[in-house]
Structure 1
Amino acid sequence: MFSIDERFRGLPASREQVLALYQSINSPHLAIPGKPAGPAQAFVLGLRGSGGFAVFIYLYLSEAQDCAVYVPGRRAASQDDYQQDEAEALAFVESMGFMMDDAHFRALPPPGQDELLKTLPVFYKDPKLVPGAAKSRADEKRTASTNLGRLLASF
């Protein structure tokens, strides 16, 4: 039903297009074909387009600042098909080990919706553009060892 589409690097959307947003509350270690293995965050995004409705799965690999976007077999679904696709998408990511939480996007006030659109990696054109994207492990280790060295040098 869902397959990776390498052409997608993100799913920029307007507030009006977003029907539903689910995000993972955990970050299991994943090995996605063609991507470096590491902790991942999942998003299931329901969008309204001019031709109908569609559900996308976005997996964000924070250490690699990379992503994998799974697209549905049908892009312009009816309302009934959309609900079935959404349930299948949630089952798919849960089978990978993700625990999903409904962000209740439509129930949020507009400023809250705008905040999610500005901060979540799923809404960026490229995962490397995500503000506050995680540093590489090498950078984190270098910073930790530098801090330790400075601490020990102070004695």
Structure 2
Amino acid sequence: MFNIDERYRGLPASREQVIALHTSLNSPHLFIPGKPAGPAQAFILGLRGSTGFATFIYLYLSEAAECAVYVSGKRNTSFEEYLGEEAEALAFVESMGFMMDNSNWRSMAQATQEELLKTLPVFFRDPKQVPAVAKKVEEKKNAAATLGRFLAAF
């Protein structure tokens, strides 16, 4: 069973720690308690730690630059238990309307993995640090300033 853990704002990881990454192909409109409703992206991340494996679900609300991280009650599982947790995570996000795609992390080129670690919201410590979000905030400020100048001309 997966539950929201408010302590997590992101899941920074090294390339070697990541064993699986599933990303959503669509962005259904979601309401997550305590967050503004809006289109969301889902990520399922499998990580290898020093004592076992863990599965995380990361939901990213791009319009609000917010996230929700769901964690399993089981941590530091064996690989066989991890596979069961991964299947449960997939069923959980699919029940919310997400269509998921396995990125086949282990078969990706190292350069591609490094690029994803630097660009996907799931790997940032805070969703407000995601480059696309920072750009959107700046665009909104510029749009508001432009509109203000336009209206001031009258």
Note whether the superposition's TM-score is higher than 0.5. Answer: yes
Where do residues 1-155 of structure 1 align in structure 2 (5 Å cutoff)?
1-133=1-133, 143=143
Which residue type is aligned with residue 109 of structure 1? A
Classify the secondary structure of the residue corresponding to 2:112.
helix
Question: Would the aligned equivalents of 2:128 and 2:134 in 1 still touch at CA under 8 Å?
Answer: no
Identical positions, percent: 68
Q: CA deviation at 1:74?
A: 0.7
Which residue type is aligned with residue 80 of structure 1? E
Cα deviation code 1:108-149 (max 9, x no counterpart)? 111010000000000000000001117669x659839x59x9
Cα deviation code 1:43-88 (max 9, x no counterpart)? 0000000110000000000011010000011111111100000000
Classify the secondary structure of the residue corresponding to 2:13.
coil
Separation in 2 of the partners of 1:135 and 1:39?
18
Cα distance change of structure 1 residues 142 and 115 upon mapping to structure 2, 3 Å threshold: closer
Instruction: Name segments (4+ residues, structure 1) moved above 3 Å.
Output: 134-137, 139-144
Contiguous gaps of at least 5 residues in structure 2: none
Q: CA deviation at 1:23?
A: 0.4
Question: Would the aligned equivalents of 1:10 and 1:69 in 2 still touch at CA under 8 Å?
Answer: yes
Which residue type is aligned with residue 4 of structure 1? I
Classify the secondary structure of the residue corresponding to 2:133.
coil
Number of aligned pairs?
148
Separation in 1 of the partners of 2:83 and 2:128?
31
Contiguous gaps of at least 5 residues in structure 1: 151-155
Separation in 1 of the partners of 2:134 and 2:120?
13
Q: TM-score, normalised by structure 1?
A: 0.88
Q: CA deviation at 1:105?
A: 1.1
